[in-house]
Structure 1
């Protein structure tokens, strides 16, 4: 019998197991002084938290069992423990309770004696130095310790303990240490040879920004991916019922939700990350590990409770399994946020049917740019992506995130009606071909900024634009210029051609204008394009006595074109970035309205799910064994660089088109269900932090797994 099945459209293998059902994790990340851990008391706390899986330190840097291998260091504090085996005691206690045990491993560093005996295993900085932190020496994933001896450690654990799976911490290349110091690209002999073999380049870059760094990141990612796949296959062969929780080649995909000094809060980070993982690899479950302390250097200071709860609420809304991570034994460090984490964990546990097979079901796909895709002049499309994502959240437009690299490997035309391309500086030929098929088959594209525009100013031949006339990116050149929103669409064939707007020379006072802030690629449009919005060129803005002279233009800022059975709308202006900078809702709505119009381009002119609520309520639509699942997340607690107490939102209405008469309920609080013609209305009394509306619509559940 085969242990794996192939995920549709890829060569990637999906291995079924206990991890396909909803599960909840609690991680006790132990220090070496915690070898005397009371396993029964710990399991009491794990179960009270709502978890049925315990993630415990087992081996790697330090073994919490009596290892017989010379590549591990046995924890000396085990001598004070009766029997000298924390892992054996923990596993036996967990088995008695029906709790699963995961082995936390860390192969990123070794003790100095091991490092001295095997210098060929170590990370080497561009200047030839070791990387040492708190006496431990970093190793390199390209070299023999992780490529070979790691398997000896895994085998020893599997030989002795029937653990339910493994998680590998810090499984990557050590360019940065725990203190945030940048050490740079590894220059060990294995990396030099491997990089040359993969890229043909003889010179390794030293750090981010150097020539060849993008190729280095490709080599590093491929190395980790291949090693992860080998580990996964090894574990599967030895113990088919044990999972590997790690990167994209693992059985369970992993994301850590945490805070960091100096990092500006991106409030939707956890939901975005999970959505991207689920879109790219729909057959695999995801685990989100929410960190209970505030930042790595402050492990004894607890995270704001509402922030910890928000991590996990976003995680489960997108179909991930929740995990809470503390330092040391339970009941030790005062982590005040654990109650908030436990509330979400128990909610997930208590609604097993609703979360079984929960899969994304939005009709809009928001493509996420590669953060390394930087052309050196205009930066990445990350700001544009975040601006558009924020706008979709605030307008209650359900969406799922699609990594740009997944466009050519995923069957996007089977998942979405609209794809949004946020200022993507380059699209691979495979991605362009996939998008071509998507639109020809009836899908719609909304492309902003540089999306579809090549470095030479050429435009994808089936896009509305023909060529770039000018790139307006200079702040001085953009000042006192506008995008006009009123006036119907008109023919846009050429920037100098006529439009449906006012005649040239007519004053624009009284028109609806928004600042043309940010970068704008002015395009010459193809003859069959319908124009969207007019460009109002600059005029004096000061002193006040001279602040006049604007005239209505004839050039359109955006254009719409049919392609096959679908439509492409091109807005070569970074409206999302402009919204992040200005927070003008009219700027936001320029792009979001284009998405909504494409969704409404259907005979019934209705959206499947609409929500009446304040902008602070995010709507996430999925489908599970229970039916249509609509998560409502209250972001009203967002403040500055974190989250505080939320303001309860009252009288929220969820409208499900065409589902009148179907059973529906809210999981967290009170709701009334009524029919409105053909539609079903679920009136939710209050959304505190999280509410979930479930509608039994009679449609079959789909989780993206092969049947």
Structure 2
């Protein structure tokens, strides 16, 4: 069965299906081993509810069934025989229903027992060298093949026939190019993948691994296959049990992100908030669940994560409108996870402020585009580094923003943002270019850096300030001792300069472009006796141009990457000042929300049933590759332009609310890990 025959129905993927998941919820996941079949369900539910959760995510089926399955495509947990009644799922559901706790079924269809794999080799993942993938006595199966495409529905039907579960979560639902040990197996070459890939792409040869010709097409095929299958699963569950949801990828009822740590992976401190923001921007009507992992990396499941790391995962999640979930291995009275108290504090905060989190949706006026990581010209993460550098800059300057995946630009609403930032996005589809132009014509402002708007042939999108590329400066030696000048000084020495590392596309500008930030060309930098000779250049690094009611600013240089690498704040401010300039470009223009506080304070703006909701996240605990205890941030002042007289309150600590002319001012005594300021739309009283 080919993926073309199972074509992806985009409308079906994105259609919102209402359910209990539309209200705020809190999850606790006990990921059970086969030896945990004797789980004390009452004791577990005590711990789940004490944690602040009202949903329990429990292993049910797939690799191992924790109920007495009658199907030959599952392996029954042999330890069930030691349990009175022999049915963990039935016991758990009965106890959960009595307490008013919802039960989610955790399913894992990624692997099967060797006997099943031997009987059905056509179900299995096949490496480019023709071998199947085995790990700890289990064999990986392929989403293109019959097990995923047909037989998992038999398992779902058996569960739905026997148990009134509230929904399903599918683990590891994808193509296993990498196994649990981190070993790269490459692209699946099973017969179903070969046929499906050829039909989907028109190409007759699968790539073996990432980086090879055809790999982008492979990822497109893999994504389409998973989305189409998810759509079928979701429809199947909805038809059988309308009040049961599916938690998975883009085609599910609830979108999912797992927040975890990994050995050898450098910390991206804003990863959880970025991921949730991107999901909410891509499908704004769907809820998101963030699963925060209580252990430190998969190979170290018995070692607990730093408590402050867990707190950060969940604080970032709820600030962007996601529902918190905490994930442990085994029973709640087993492995000692010291971080659970920190996770519980955020979970209970979310539970106790239901109104404030009901319908919480992103509301920032700045959109930051997240490039596709496959858009790369040899240095992996070039666009990613630019994005991360600019994201960090916006956080540090307290400019609220929401993340927009590059792949959803074609659906961009012209009135969603006032400013959109394009960080080194090299491949804009024609539909994305049209959507961006509509946005600008309607009055939006576009701030484009790096290759954004520049075509492969060196021409520039017609309504951008640039006309064509005249030269690309990317060689480190060429860039050494060259600068961008930020002021108007006629002399180089004494001028405000920033270094120019990275990649810079020099442009010939359109005649009506307004130019700024001159280039200072290379001159000797050593030995010291020869370090002179710089003169102001005749070229400029930045241009702006009106288009319709809006403006495009183009900085064809990777200033965000330079900031990511150097942390020179003048590099950061070069781009962030362009964003702020466009936000206040109106008579008497001021930023809608300003915060006077340290750079370690992130400002996230949303709207909910309670009104305007402003999260303040304290990132001062960031240290190297993790988080430790925060430094309390004192005397933080939030100003909301034009909102004088509105009722406002702080949810976590104490605050003083007063009017200053037309503005509302909230003075917050201390921000520890998290503070939330709620400004109501009308009614209420001052707190």
- Which TM-score band (shorter chain)? over 0.9
The aligned residue for residue 427 of structure 2 is: 426
Inter-partner Cα distance in structure 1 for 2:571 and 2:196 = 48
Paired position in structure 2 for 1:495:
none
Task: Say if 2:400 is the partner of 1:416.
Answer: no
Shift of 1:322: 0.1
Do structure 1's residue 303 and structure 2's residue 274 form an aligned pair? no
State the alpha-carbon separation in 1 of the partners of residues 101 and 308 from structure 2: 28
Determine if the alignment matches structure 1 residue 656 to structure 2 residue 658: no
* 1:617 and 2:601 aligned: yes
For residue 561 of structure 1, the aligned residue among 545, 551, 554 is 545
User: Cα deviation per residue 1:411-447 (whole Å; 9 max; x = unaligned)?
Assistant: 2x12100000000111000000000000000000000
Q: Displacement of 1:11 after TM fit?
A: 7.2
SS of the counterpart of 2:538? coil
1:382 is aligned to 384
Task: Pick one of 86, 99, 102 that aligns with 2:101.
Answer: 99
Match of 1:546 in 2: 530
Q: Do the aligned partners of 2:373 and 2:381 also contact (CA within 8 Å) in 1? A: no
**Could you tell me how far apart the structure 2 residues matched to 1:581 and 1:606 are?**
31
The secondary structure found in structure 1 opposite 2:301 is strand
| 1:291-690 to 2 correspondences below 5 Å | 291-376=293-378, 380-411=382-413, 413-487=414-488, 502=490, 507-690=491-674
Q: Which residue of 2 aligns with 1:66?
A: 68
Give the C-alpha shift of residue 380 in structure 1.
3.4
Equivalent residue for 2:5? none
Contact 1:45 1:330 in 2 (8 A): yes
SS where residue 382 of structure 2 aligns?
Answer: coil
Q: Is the 8 A contact 1:9 1:410 kept in 2?
A: no
SS, match of residue 302 in structure 2: strand
CA deviation profile, 1:203-244 (whole Å, cap 9, x unmatched): 100000111001000000000000000000000000000000
CA-to-partner distance for each residue in 1:313-365, whole Å, 9 max, x for gaps?
A: 00000000000000000021010000000000000000000000000000000
Paired with 2:208 and 2:411, the residues of 1 have a C-alpha distance of 32
CA displacement at 1:373 relative to structure 2:
1.2
Please tell me whether the aligned partners of residues 466 and 524 of structure 1 are also in contact (alpha carbons under 8 angstroms).
Answer: yes
Q: Distance in 1 between matches of 2:642 and 2:85?
A: 64
Alignment of structure 1 residues 36-75 onto 2, 5 Å: 36-75=38-77
Alpha-carbon distance between aligned partners in 2 of 1:8 and 1:321, rounded to the nearest angstrom: 25
* C-alpha RMSD of matched pairs (Å): 1.3
**Matching residue of 1:222:** 224
Partner of residue 108, structure 1: 110
Is the contact between residue 659 and residue 697 of structure 1 (CA under 8 Å) also seen in structure 2?
no
Deviation at 1:698, TM superposition (A): 3.7
Q: How many residues align?
A: 675
| Equivalent residue, structure 2, for 1:153 | 155
Distance 2:411 2:142 in 1: 30
Q: In the TM superposition, what is the alpha-carbon distance from 1:10 to its structure 2 partner?
A: 8.7
**Structure 2 gap segments, 5+ residues each:** 1-8
Distance of 1:252 and 1:508 partners within structure 2:
56
Distance 1:544 1:641 in 2: 37
Q: Quote how far apart the aligned CAs of 1:527 are.
A: 0.5
3-state DSSP of counterpart to 1:230 = helix
1:164 corresponding residue in structure 2 = 166
- Please tell me whether residue 26 in structure 1 is matched to residue 28 in structure 2: yes
> 1:374, CA displacement in angstroms?
1.7
Cα–Cα, structure 1 residues 75 and 631, in superposed 2: closer, same or farther, change >3 Å?
Answer: same
Return the alpha-carbon distance in structure 2 between the equivalents of residues 567 and 617 of structure 1: 30
Unaligned runs of 5+ in 1: 1-6, 488-500, 700-707
Name the CA distance, whole Å, in 1 between partners of 2:30 and 2:10: 37
| Alignment deviations for residues 489-517 of structure 1 (CA, whole Å, 9 cap, x no partner) | xxxxxxxxxxxx63xxxx41111111011
Decide whether aligned partners of structure 1 residues 108 and 8 sit closer, same or farther in structure 2, where only a CA change above 3 A counts: closer
* Residue in structure 2 matched with residue 705 of structure 1 by the alignment: none
Contact map agreement 2:14 2:283 (CA 8 A) in 1: no
Counterpart secondary structure, 2:314: helix
**2:126 maps to what in 1?**
124
Q: CA deviation at 1:38?
A: 0.1
Distance 1:301 1:164 in 2: 31
Offset of 1:602 from its aligned partner? 1.5
TM-score (norm 1): 0.94
1:267 aligns with 2:269: yes
- Compute the displacement of 1:532 (Å): 1.7
The question of whether the paired residues in 2 share the 8 Å contact of 1:369 and 1:380 is answered with no
TM superposition shift of 1:282? 0.3
Deviations 1:16-48 (A, max 9, x none): 000000000000000000000000000000000
Cα deviation digits, residues 674-696 of structure 1 (max 9, x gap): 00000000001100000000000
- State the secondary structure of the residue aligned to 2:56: strand
When the two structures are superposed, what TM-score results if normalisation uses the length of structure 2? 0.97
Deviation at 1:553, TM superposition (A): 1.6
CA 1:148–1:79 in structure 2 vs 1: closer, same or farther (change >3 Å)? Answer: same
The alpha-carbon deviation at position 378 of structure 1 amounts to: 8.0
Say if 2:158 is the partner of 1:174: no
The answer to whether the Cα contact below 8 Å between 2:123 and 2:146 also exists between their aligned partners in 1 is yes
Partner Cα distance (1:257, 1:125) in 2 = 29
3-state SS, counterpart of residue 184 of structure 1: coil
Deviates more, 1:378-387 or 1:428-437: 378-387
Q: Is the 8 A contact 2:12 2:251 kept in 1?
A: no
Query: What is the deviation of 1:409?
Result: 2.1
Q: For the Cα contact (< 8 Å) 2:304–2:337, is it kept in 1?
A: yes
8 Å CA contact 1:10, 1:409 repeated in 2? no
1:605 shift after superposition:
1.1
